[in-house]
Amino acid sequence: MANYTQVFKGTAFTSKSSKDILILKEYLFCINEDGMIDKVLSPNDDDYQEMLTAHEGKAHFHQLAPGQYFLPGFVDTHVHAPQWAQSGTALDIPLYDWLNTYTFPIESKFSDLTFAKEVYDDLVSTLLANGTTTSLYFATVHKEASLLLAEICAEKGQRGLVGKVVMDDPEQNPPFYRDADTKTALAETEEFILAVKALAKSTKQGVYPVVTPRFIPSCTDAALKGLGELVAKYDTHVQSHCSESDWEHHHVQDRFQKNDAFALNDFGLLGDKSVMAHCNFLNDDDAHLFAKTGTAIAHCPISNAYFANSVIPISHLHAKGIDVGLGSDLSGGFSPSLFDNARQAVMSSRMLEDGVNPALSAEQRGLPSSRITINEAFYFATAGGGESLSLPIGRLEENYAWDIQIIDSRVSSAKLPIFNPDEDLNDVFQKIMYLARPENIREVWVQGEKVHSRKL
């Protein structure tokens, strides 16, 4: 029998498909030294008892207590790390004003590495405590502070995908917050890619460099072209904002006579490792291009409600074959919790399906079949995120990373309303998805290592 580094026993929830969950009741999860799930055994499997006997009672054997459950760790596909410092503020002003009066001044402060460390340390710990085991981060234009964020992820054990933001156009970006010039922006991006790749070698869970044009308006054509070349040269992930707001959508139309999706594709910025945030204005042709190139959408339901007054038809876009992950968009979205974002994704989708507007006739209301279930929102927060990033994460299956959160339904300060010890596990899952708070997240593991635990 293989020599496993860790063996876990308990009931787990994971996605079977985008619409259905799998309930793995009292399963064994055998983790190898690379932190990958090597074997998953059901109590009905022949070798279950033998495996249990071999490991039970040993230091590397972990059995869940009654009322505890495994969930895959969450994958947050869109986080602005520096904006943690302004979370929850000024969400009632338009995006363009919010960027210029709140966000860029805050982000400019990350030239100060002491300030950057304070904010990034707190953010990464907070995300882990909220069950987020992988984050796709925008940092700032500063190479050193962006690298510091990757180092903090490496040290705290989070799987961080980090981008040094590119904003090189002097016409579009304020003098106090932009790249020195196009050449420097590209050179620093390349240095950043190499530094993060070197750092990754010292981590178990991996950290990844991400090519990050903030959005088309902030970049010159030369920068977009150069970034596309860096993606091809180093096979990196890519992230940006795509078709988010009215203003930005029209800027791209005026400049390129096409939508963001086609413009980004012309620069080599769409592909299997590309994740585009928001996508409020994606039309059918754009969606087809996303599906064809393997480009994913980071669905940010809280942020979209504030900055775009928008609910995107995410179920229709996913049905077209587009990968979808869930994104908090801190701090366009105020919450660091993907539980909160999953809840909002479901609630918004219901309003899109049948929003009541007395000015409209019943036939004009909503977009049929837009609703998503909590199972689908869970899928976007876990397996869908893994597919978006093309990484083996987000599922409790063999050959996936052991990235998990242990949910405790019996924590006295946040007890979930489960009164029947034989409660249907589908109902338990739904109670967790709708009611769990950070207090219920007792432990978080990434790549087979414990990275967070909460004492009672």
Chain residues in the site for ligand GUN (CB under 6 A): 80, 95, 99, 103, 214-215, 241, 244, 303, 307, 329, 332
SS3 for 445?
A: strand
Q: Cα 372 to chain center, whole Å?
A: 18
CB nearer to ligand GUN: give 55 or 214: 214
Minimum distance, C-beta of residue 79 to Fe ion, in the bound complex (Å) = 8
Relative to beta strand 74-80, strand 165-166 is: unpaired
201 half-sphere exposure, CB direction, 13 A CA radius: 5
C-alpha–C-alpha distance, residues 212 and 167, integer Å: 9
What are residue 11's phi and psi, to 5 degrees? -95, 130
CB nearer to ligand GUN: give 380 or 402: 380
Minimum distance, C-beta of residue 37 to Fe ion, in the bound complex (Å) = 32
Relative to beta strand 324-326, strand 296-299 is: parallel
C-alpha–C-alpha distance, residues 30 and 37, integer Å: 6
CB nearer to ligand GUN: give 148 or 219: 219
Minimum distance, C-beta of residue 158 to Fe ion, in the bound complex (Å) = 19
Pick the closest to residue 454 from 402, 412, 426, 396 (CA basis): 412
Radius of gyration of the chain (CA): 22
CB nearer to Fe ion: give 277 or 346: 277
Chosen from ligand GUN, Fe ion, none, partner binding at 177 (C-beta under 5 to 8 Å by type): none
- Contact by Cβ (8 Å): 280, 243: yes
Which stretch in 143-151, 205-213, 272-280, 447-455 sits in contact with Fe ion by CB under 5 A?
272-280
Tokens of 363: 């036939």
Chosen from ligand GUN, Fe ion, none, partner binding at 159 (C-beta under 5 to 8 Å by type): none
CB nearer to Fe ion: give 307 or 429: 307
For residue 271, give Cα distances in angstroms to 245, 267, 281, 299.
Answer: 22, 11, 19, 17
Chosen from Fe ion, ligand GUN, none, partner binding at 99 (C-beta under 5 to 8 Å by type): ligand GUN
Residues near 5 by Cβ (< 8 Å), separated by ≥ 6? Answer: 31, 32, 33, 35, 60, 448
C-alpha–C-alpha distance, residues 59 and 81, integer Å: 36
CB nearer to ligand GUN: give 81 or 150: 81
Tokens of 423: 């409660």
CB nearer to Fe ion: give 245 or 382: 245
Chosen from ligand GUN, Fe ion, none, partner binding at 214 (C-beta under 5 to 8 Å by type): ligand GUN
Minimum distance, C-beta of residue 214 to ligand GUN, in the bound complex (Å) = 5
For 49-55, the CB contacts below 8 A with 24+ separation are 50/1, 51/1, 51/7, 52/9, 52/28, 54/1, 55/4, 55/7
Q: Which residue is nearest to ligand GUN (CB)?
A: 332
Minimum distance, C-beta of residue 95 to ligand GUN, in the bound complex (Å) = 6
Minimum distance, C-beta of residue 302 to ligand GUN, in the bound complex (Å) = 10
Chosen from ligand GUN, Fe ion, none, partner binding at 21 (C-beta under 5 to 8 Å by type): none
Which of 76, 169, 248, 329 is in the footprint of Fe ion by CB under 5 A?
A: 329
- Site mask for Fe ion (CB under 5 A), range 89-108, x = bound: --------------------
Minimum distance, C-beta of residue 83 to ligand GUN, in the bound complex (Å) = 6
Residue 286 as a binder of Fe ion (CB under 5 A): the answer is: no
CB nearer to Fe ion: give 182 or 280: 280
Task: Summarize as ranges the residues that interact with Fe ion (CB under 5 A).
Answer: 277, 329
